Amino acid sequence: MTYQLPYRPRRLRSSSAIRALVEECQLTASDFVLPVFVTEETSPSEISSMPGVFRWPAVGIEEKVREWRQMGIRAFALFPKIDPQKKDGSGSEILNPDSLVYRTAAAINRLNLDIVLIADLALDPYTTHGQDGVLLPDGVVDNDQTVEILANASMVCAGAGFDMVAPSDMMDGRVGIIRKTLDENSFQHTGIISYSAKFASSYYGPFRSAIKSSSAEGGVDKRTYQLNPSNLKEAKRELWLDFQEGADMLMVKPAEPYLDLIYYAHTNINLPIAAYQVSGEYSRIMAADQLGWLDWKKCALESLVCIKRAGANLIFSYFADRIVSELD
């Protein structure tokens, strides 16, 4: 029996050539930002909770960046593992122009590789207590004092050659103050990728271990500034506030658990939208692969294409350097 069906969608899936012809969403190397952990150590060290991801020595990292650039990756976000002896309660090392991440950025810039360098603008790597801000005597994070430090740090970032700063702290008003500070100090061309909707997520653990943040030890509660995963309206408000304060791009973090918000931002706000496929998203896929339950490559590709389909214009991903070789 043959039915007289007016529509047979399977015709568009009947061969690999037809499927490729009608494919709606494709990943390219230029979609990616590769997060790079840098350290004062003299040799690369693999992060145990992130198999295949390394902390790279700042000395000699230029050759690694050349290698990644040859793969087609053109954007990098640098995250420092700071010597514990350089940490204090206010994260003052972030204002040291000779600090690890600034020296690394300057060295990479001397390569003239036509790439984008993004600075993480947060105090977490620099504070002894692991919070993303300065603490008042009662333990509450001081919003405005923290913003003042970040605004000053944005100038250090720009002076070191970072193309964009990415405030990831979730303090109120920081995008506007950072933009004003940069503009008033002749850094009008330094862009801002704002972590506009950063949730108080359980997926950040491997990252905190990678940078040896004090928050990796547990007991650090960031819910007074990071978003409640239950709150969509609040997240939308944060996106619009950062848009109004002058951000050049808006970010949703984590990515895959918040595809609905990525889609909202893409369809409603006339700015490029970034999504951060965070360390926990990476680690759960790799752990399942090591147990023989999933194929990491297939799962990574599926996750990444879903993030792009939801509306992300750029994706921060620890898979970037291994996935680009799988792309057509």
Dump pLDDT digits (tens) for 158-199: 999 999 999 999 999 999 999 999 999 999 999 999 999 999
217 band by pLDDT with thresholds 50, 70 and 90: low
The predicted-structure confidence for 115-156, as pLDDT tens digits, reads as follows 999 999 999 999 999 999 999 999 999 999 999 999 999 999
Question: How many angstroms separate the CA atoms of 40 and 98, rounded?
Answer: 12
Residue 214 has pLDDT above 80, yes or no: no
Decide which of 323 and 328 is more confident.
Answer: 323
Question: How many angstroms separate the CA atoms of 4 and 8, rounded?
Answer: 10
To the nearest 10°, report the CA torsion of 290, 293, 298, 304. Answer: -80
Whole-number pLDDT of residue 249? 98
The predicted-structure confidence for 59-92, as pLDDT tens digits, reads as follows 999 999 999 999 999 999 999 999 999 999 999 9
Residue 16 has pLDDT above 70, yes or no: yes
- CB-based burial of residue 8 (10 Å sphere; 0-12 exposed, 13-18 middle, 19+ buried)? exposed
Among 81, 198, 212, 222, the one annotated catalytic: 198
Among 81, 212, 222, 253, the one annotated catalytic: 253
Architecture of the domain defined by 26-326:
Alpha-Beta Barrel (3.20)
Whole-number pLDDT of residue 326? 86
Question: How many angstroms separate the CA atoms of 77 and 35, rounded?
Answer: 5
212 band by pLDDT with thresholds 50, 70 and 90: confident
The mean-pLDDT minimum among 47-51, 88-92, 214-218, 263-267 falls in 214-218
Residue 33 has pLDDT above 90, yes or no: yes
Look up 81 and say whether it is catalytic: no
Across the strands, what pairs with 197?
A: 252
51 band by pLDDT with thresholds 50, 70 and 90: very high
Look up 198 and say whether it is catalytic: yes
Provide the percentage of residues in the chain whose pLDDT is more than 70: 99
pTM of the predicted protein model: 0.96
Which candidate, 123, 246, 156, places its Cα nearest to that of 192?
246
